[in-house]
Amino acid sequence: MILLSTGTLNTYGLPRIFALAAEAGYDGIEIIIDARWDTRDAAYLRRMSSEYGLPVAVLHSPFLPGVEGWPLDQLGRLQRTLALAEELSVRLVVTHLPYRLYPMSAHWGSPKPRGITLPIPRVWREPYYHVLSDGRLADMENETGVTIAVENMPARRFLGITFDLYWFNRTEQMARFPHVTLDTTHVGTWGNDPVAVYGQLKGRLSHVHLSNYDGREHRPPADGKLPLAALLRELARDGYEGAVTVESEPMAFHAEDEAQCLAELRRALAFCRENLAGR
């Protein structure tokens, strides 16, 4: 199953995303839950799914606090996402790793503002950290019947120094989780080969976020330096049965021009299908 993430076109409303995904030929949608009510209204999501003939196959727990009416803490947001997944009969939820360092930004000047982002250490480990550390994700999966796929996260750099903002973000640490989401562009930020990382995580792999990397994150799958064709062929050879989600960003898919955006969506889908078929 090849899905389109709503994050790929997050400057569009959900009806436009569903319509373009259906016209391009995708098999379903991954919803990134954010501040918009539409992304977390079960009745509305069911209506979109029915109207456009596309299942909501994956939910992505909110990245950050600030989702009105939802808990501020990461564990609370995951629990709310799982409840929404149960209501929608969605069988997979993606969740991010917990922060060990927070990015703190400051901006100044006009008309061309300048900015700086510094990694600030946390002074405590939140309950979500302990749930991941103690192996309680498996209990949550058993209670809900929903697979929780933990996503690997990107490197960040400041003054030439590489920072890891997250706990458990090394490949060997990711292998502690029952199920993982492999984000290929995040692998690229570390200078690693996604095929090699897949080889280390394949026993845990339940989901793939597919986008390329060329120094910029979330490029279209066919555009960049990562060997994504080889990765998809390896998945096919291994009989991988999970979803592959195209997760890019609006500018990479030329969202300012709907016709060009649709062409890019079709090109990304064709790339996935051809390589998953071994052609």
What pLDDT is recorded for position 103? Answer: 64
Asked if residue 236 has pLDDT above 90, the reply is yes
- Name the β-bridge partners of 147: 92
- 3-state DSSP percent of the chain in helix, strand and coil, to 5: 40, 25, 35
Contact (Cβ atoms closer than 8 angstroms) between residue 20 and residue 258: yes
Q: If you count them, how many residues does the chain have?
A: 279
Residue 267, pLDDT above cutoff 70: yes
Peptide bond into 227 cis (omega under 30): no
DSSP string, 171-226: HHHHTTSSSEEEEHHHHHHTT--HHHHHHHHTTTEEEEEE-B-SSSSSB-TTSSSS
The pLDDT value recorded for residue 161 is 83
Q: Give the pLDDT score at 64.
A: 83
Residue 65 has pLDDT above 90, yes or no: no
Average pLDDT in the chain:
92
Residue 159's pLDDT band (boundaries 50, 70, 90)?
confident
The owner of tokens 């690693």 is 192
Rounded mean pLDDT, 85-103: 91
CA 101 to CA 234: how far, in whole Å?
34
| 236 touches 278 (CB < 8 A) | yes
C-alpha to C-alpha distance for 145 and 150, rounded to whole angstroms: 16
Ordered by start, the domain boundaries in the chain are 2-276
| Residue 168: per-residue pLDDT | 95
Report the alpha-carbon distance of residue 229 to residue 271 in Å, rounded. Answer: 8
**What pLDDT does residue 223 have?**
94
**How many Cα atoms within 13 Å fall on the side-chain side of residue 269?**
22
> 119 or 261: whose pLDDT is higher?
261
Q: What percent of the chain has pLDDT over 70?
A: 91
Q: How far is the C-alpha of 38 from the C-alpha of 164, rounded, in Å?
A: 32
- Residue 76's CB is within 10 A of a number of other CB atoms, namely 14
User: Vertex 48, ends 42 and 51: CA angle to 5°?
Assistant: 135
Asked if residues 74 and 19 have their Cβ atoms less than 8 Å apart, the reply is no
Stretch among 3-17, 75-89, 161-175 having the lowest mean pLDDT: 161-175
Q: What is the pTM of this model?
A: 0.92
How far is the C-alpha of 177 from the C-alpha of 104, rounded, in Å? 29
The confidence band for 162, taking pLDDT boundaries of 50, 70 and 90, is confident
Confidence check: pLDDT of 215 > 70: yes
**Residue 144 above 80 pLDDT?**
yes
190 close to 163: Cβ distance less than 8 angstroms: no
Instruction: State both tokens at 114.
Output: 């300048």
CATH fold of 2-276 reads TIM Barrel (3.20.20)
pLDDT tens column, 110-136: 666 666 666 667 666 889 999 999 989
Cα–Cα distance, 48 to 51 (Å, whole number): 5
> How confident is the model over 37-46, as pLDDT tens digits?
999 999 999 9
Nearest of 217, 176, 221, 225 to residue 200 by alpha carbon: 176
As a whole-number percent, the residues of the chain with pLDDT over 90 amount to 82
**pLDDT of amino acid 115:** 61
